[in-house]
A and B are shown apart, each in its own frame.
Chain A
Amino acid sequence: MVTSALEPLHRALGLTDGEYEEICTVLGREPNNLELALYGVMWSEHCSYKSSRIHLKRLPTEGAHVLVGPGENAGVIDAGDGIAVAIRIESHNHPSAIEPYQGAATGVGGILRDVFTMGARPLAVMDPLFFGELTDARQRWLVEGVVSGISGYGNSVGVPTIGGELTFDECYASNPLVNVLCAGALPKERLVLGVASGVGNLAVLLGSTTGRDGIGGVSVLASAGFAGDDGAASLDDAKRPSVQVGDPYEEKRLIEACLALLDRGMVVGIQDLGGAGLVCATSETAARGRVGMDVDINAVPLRESGMQPFEIMTSESQERMLAIITPDDWPAVAALCATWEVRASIIGHVVEPNIDDEGNSVGVLRVRDGFDGAILAEVPAASLADEAPLYDRPRLRPANLDGIHADDPTDDEPEGSPNDDLLALLLDPGWVYRQYDSQLFLNTVVGPGRDAALLRLAGPGLPPSSRGIALSTDSNPRWCALDPHAGTALTVAESVANLACVGASAKAVVNCLNFGNPEHPEVMWQLSESIDGMAAACRALDLPVVGGNVSLYNESGGHDIDPTPVVGLLGVVDSLLAPPPGWDWREGDTIVLVGAREASGPQPFPLGASRWATARGRRGGKIPTFDATTFRPTVKFVAGEIAAICAGETSDVTAVHDVSGGGLATALAEMVAATGRGAQVGALSSHGELFSEFPGRFVMATSDPEAFMARAADLPVFVLGTVGGSSLVIGSTINLDVATIASRRQGALESSLAIAG
């Protein structure tokens, strides 16, 4: 039998030979096996961002209202009225590919802990989801599993799921993407950070017992691609034990207990246990506090017997938190946790840092066999948490990109019926979001399925406010595949436009950068270009990036996914007393298109990367560039018009909808389907004008076109037609009954999933 001795342990743990040498330099000796295991998880791509960190530095992160930027558990902004909003986005892609229900469920659990770690009560979750085409039975299984996992965990834990995205594309068939965003709110003065301080203070592990689930989740599972390319059988069954199992009831009690501890001021610092488990939580809190920490491996409550120290330190068992408290508070902490039936165990002590040869203090993480027992591992905490090697990996523009750009569908001779083309683009995701509790906490003014979600800024323990917060998640891998720089910039713009539809001005961005294997130079080029595009758009729109997540190795059988940067955007509405108009146009209203009618770039109505072209198997072409010149005043005008309605002012504006996926024709059809009222629209110049996709255009309806035009005098406004009749008529190209549009849109997802009732 070939023994594993042929492969050194560090390689089995996912460390390179160079990284092993680096560890020896840090320690001044060879690491023992436990120490090597700690480095293996902490220096994984997932934990260390070693391939992306040098690029992420190019993103703008500052703003007057930013309280906490990237690098903490969540970004935090000042939303006004003494309320801070924490926001975070994460991916749980690989676990969900292997075990969709638990993968998605634990994704929700993890993101909630990131937010309540900051002292914020989680108030909203959003889920951008990406699967292969539903003609494949495995994709239908994944969709049902992921959606029921989010529903099962999110509803039970008591946080409303208020939106997300649903994208189907062949590139996700073997590597679906399950991203999750959470926003929470807290009284501004209660903001806490994951810092250990105060020598002699106690490290208390709260929540669930520690088992063997999720060991190596960040390294084996999240920081490597899938081997096979044939879908089901190849998806690496051996990795299934690296998927964690969630318990929302445990998490619910943990949330309430932690928020109660924070309310009573009993916590010096607090940190969630997510990827890389206990080693991550202890080393990060110690590194941030520049102190040492002694952990007694025997004090960790275990779920099963015979667990090795490396398993205890790296387990990703869910629903656990690490709180740093003073010894005096321990009896009260223990009593409060007992009330909520939350386990609490002292597993470590904050200790003095060591002093190195040059007189610097170095916080050391020591894993011990008993508090005064033998030292099993002894490593500088910061070397685990912050000092992984950073890589500037080779980047290469794909050689075939020019050919792909040249294969442009914009000038294709249209074939077939535009009516059929339009019907094929309609899909109501209601089957998904009806499974989510979207209303808990009585905040949801605009829920899932519209341009953006809009919530009252209110919650248990918050000071009173009449403000609202708006949230949107956006992505467009079709754009980014053709041009990751422009595509990402347009995605940011699209998100800002979505927020304008509910009257919100954008305040902060979080991003989840889902890419392929960073060891492929083309993927690194995509990532670098995408970050530059995001930075450019954020600068042009004065938006700070307050947090993010990078998910690499989204590949299967050597095939990388299309670059999929997901933008999460948080905005504020200053006065939320009445709901925004939504899509609810009325009989006789005038329909107008507000914003630049033509795209910036050489083509006025490009069809490259449009859904219309993709549905015909045409994936090449060029996409527009992002130009803020007209975009900024347009979104400012739209947001202002809608914000006035939210503030309770009367208005002639009766409807607004951002033109995005599926183009102008799709936006009109969605409004027809939502209201049951038809529209008579004049001739549009081309197929491109019906289906082209670029942000910064809004369909609005007004009952007083003269007054509206006067207010919008400085902007491009184009009269499209009027609301009325029992069909959608666009010139001589589109003529469809209202009922046909509505039933097609409503039933599209259920019939694809073959669950039409």
Chain B
Amino acid sequence: MIRIGVVVFPGSNCEYDAAAAVEDLGATAEFVWHSSNDVARFDGIILPGGFAHGDYLRPGALARFSPVMEAVAEFARGGGAVLGICNGFQVLTEAGLLPGALQKNRGLTFLCQPTTLIVESTNSVLTRSATRGQTLSIPINHFSGAYTCDDTTYEQLQANDQIVLRYQDNPNGSRGDIAGVANEAGNVVGLMPHPERAMSTLLGSADGRVLLEGFVRTRVSAV
């Protein structure tokens, strides 16, 4: 049985949804409190959405100092699959596990709406079950979701095939329409849209399944 650890910071709020999605795909999910320093027992780690530590200072800026992030970094260095969704993506960039940063949306308002994503790369633990060029309907739900990075980083992201998802119709001003990026090895991925909210047609879309199926599919360093 694949075991996924879902990290819970004070202020996280999508942990139940992430766990439900993972369990829907046949894996088990276990909450990991932010003060824990041991995640080695898991096959994959999800940093869920929410407002870790209230998003005080800026999203992810305090969460990167939670003890669990040392363990997550160690897990990632060993090739472990790590996924940051929304606030989790913000935490991964603040922690230096993913390049770039997330700044406030172009329109300076929170946005909760459906978006269409284009799979740009299948070279990641999140997109390995998807097809390049495939479009997916997955909602966003964020205030600070505009991806940004310097020119050098952007060129490296493109050269290394690290841009995994782009928006078809950019909702928030993200550089290069970027919705999700991976690290060079493809085992650490962050995205602003919420694939766990797109698991069933009853709720509007089941397009998130192909992403999370890829994530829970295999064990460590199977990219």
A residues in contact (CB < 8 Å) with B: 148, 151-152, 155-158, 247-249, 252-253, 339-341, 433-445, 456, 459-460, 576-579, 757
Shortest beta-carbon distance, A91 to chain B, in Å? Answer: 24
Q: Can you list 21 A-B pairs with a CB-CB distance of less than 8 A?
A: A151-B109, A152-B110, A155-B110, A157-B13, A247-B54, A249-B53, A252-B11, A252-B54, A434-B109, A434-B111, A435-B109, A436-B110, A436-B112, A439-B139, A440-B14, A442-B196, A442-B197, A445-B202, A456-B202, A577-B202, A578-B202
B197 CB contact (under 8 Å) in A148, A156, A439, A579: A439
How far does the alpha carbon of A248 sit from the alpha carbon of B14 in the complex, in Å?
15
Residues of B within 8 Å of A757, CB to CB, are 107
How far does the alpha carbon of A339 sit from the alpha carbon of B35 in the complex, in Å?
10
Residues of B within 8 Å of A340, CB to CB, are 10
- Given contacts A248-B54, A249-B10, 8 further A-B pairs with CB under 8 A are A156-B55, A158-B13, A249-B11, A434-B109, A434-B111, A439-B141, A439-B203, A576-B202
A156 CB contact (under 8 Å) in B21, B54, B111, B199: B54
A249 CB contact (under 8 Å) in B17, B21, B54, B111: B54
Shortest beta-carbon distance, A583 to chain B, in Å? Answer: 15
Contacting pair B51 A341 (CB below 8 A): no
Shortest beta-carbon distance, B31 to chain A, in Å? Answer: 11
**B180 contacts chain A at the CB level, 8 A cutoff:** no
Contacting pair B16 A445 (CB below 8 A): no
Shortest beta-carbon distance, B108 to chain A, in Å? Answer: 10
B203 CB contact (under 8 Å) in A156, A339, A445, A460: A445
**B20 contacts chain A at the CB level, 8 A cutoff:** yes
Interface string of B28-53 (1 = CB under 8 A from A): 00000100000000000000001101
**B218 contacts chain A at the CB level, 8 A cutoff:** no
Residues of A within 8 Å of B20, CB to CB, are 442
How far does the alpha carbon of A34 sit from the alpha carbon of B194 in the complex, in Å?
53
**B113 contacts chain A at the CB level, 8 A cutoff:** yes
Residues of B within 8 Å of A437, CB to CB, are 110, 112, 141
Contacting pair A442 B199 (CB below 8 A): yes
**B56 contacts chain A at the CB level, 8 A cutoff:** yes
Contacting pair A460 B16 (CB below 8 A): yes
Contacting pair A341 B10 (CB below 8 A): yes
Contacting pair A444 B50 (CB below 8 A): no
Chain B's closest residue to A432 (CB) is B109
Residues of B within 8 Å of A576, CB to CB, are 202
How far does the alpha carbon of A152 sit from the alpha carbon of B142 in the complex, in Å?
11
Interface string of B176-215 (1 = CB under 8 A from A): 0000000000000000001011010111100000000000
Given contacts A248-B51, A249-B51, A249-B56, contact A434 B112 (CB under 8 A): yes
Residues of A within 8 Å of B204, CB to CB, are 579
Residues of B within 8 Å of A155, CB to CB, are 51, 110, 112, 141, 143
Contacting pair B54 A439 (CB below 8 A): no
How far does the alpha carbon of A249 sit from the alpha carbon of B50 in the complex, in Å?
10
Shortest beta-carbon distance, B111 to chain A, in Å? Answer: 6
Contacting pair B112 A441 (CB below 8 A): no
Chain A's closest residue to B24 (CB) is A442
Shortest beta-carbon distance, B131 to chain A, in Å? Answer: 26
Interface string of B128-145 (1 = CB under 8 A from A): 000000000001010100
How far does the alpha carbon of A433 sit from the alpha carbon of B110 in the complex, in Å?
10
How far does the alpha carbon of A151 sit from the alpha carbon of B108 in the complex, in Å?
12
Contacting pair B141 A441 (CB below 8 A): no
Residues of B within 8 Å of A456, CB to CB, are 202
Shortest beta-carbon distance, B207 to chain A, in Å? Answer: 14
How far does the alpha carbon of A460 sit from the alpha carbon of B8 in the complex, in Å?
15
How far does the alpha carbon of A442 sit from the alpha carbon of B198 in the complex, in Å?
9
Given contacts A434-B113, A435-B111, contact A441 B17 (CB under 8 A): yes
Residues of B within 8 Å of A579, CB to CB, are 201-202, 204
How far does the alpha carbon of A341 sit from the alpha carbon of B10 in the complex, in Å?
8
B16 CB contact (under 8 Å) in A253, A341, A441, A577: A441
Q: Which of B107, B141, B197 has the most CB of A within 10 A?
A: B141
Query: What are the 8 A-B residue pairs with the smallest beta carbon separation, nearest first?
Result: A249-B54, A158-B13, A435-B110, A156-B51, A460-B16, A151-B110, A442-B17, A437-B112
How far does the alpha carbon of A436 sit from the alpha carbon of B141 in the complex, in Å?
8
Contacting pair A253 B10 (CB below 8 A): yes
A438 CB contact (under 8 Å) in B13, B53, B112, B199: B112
Residues of A within 8 Å of B203, CB to CB, are 439, 442-445
Chain A's closest residue to B141 (CB) is A437
Shortest beta-carbon distance, B59 to chain A, in Å? Answer: 11
B10 CB contact (under 8 Å) in A252, A438, A445, A578: A252
Contacting pair B51 A252 (CB below 8 A): yes
How far does the alpha carbon of A193 sit from the alpha carbon of B112 in the complex, in Å?
35
Residues of B within 8 Å of A341, CB to CB, are 10
Chain A's closest residue to B19 (CB) is A460
Given contacts A249-B53, A252-B51, A579-B202, contact A440 B10 (CB under 8 A): no
Given contacts A437-B141, A442-B196, A442-B197, contact A252 B202 (CB under 8 A): no
Chain A's closest residue to B109 (CB) is A435
Q: Which of A156, A157, A247, A439 has the most CB of B within 10 A?
A: A439
How far does the alpha carbon of A438 sit from the alpha carbon of B140 in the complex, in Å?
11
Contacting pair A435 B112 (CB below 8 A): yes
Chain B's closest residue to A461 (CB) is B16
Q: Which of A434, A459, A578 has the most CB of B within 10 A?
A: A434
Residues of B within 8 Å of A249, CB to CB, are 10-11, 51, 53-56
How far does the alpha carbon of A443 sit from the alpha carbon of B56 in the complex, in Å?
28
Chain B's closest residue to A252 (CB) is B11
How far does the alpha carbon of A673 sit from the alpha carbon of B141 in the complex, in Å?
24
Contacting pair B109 A148 (CB below 8 A): yes
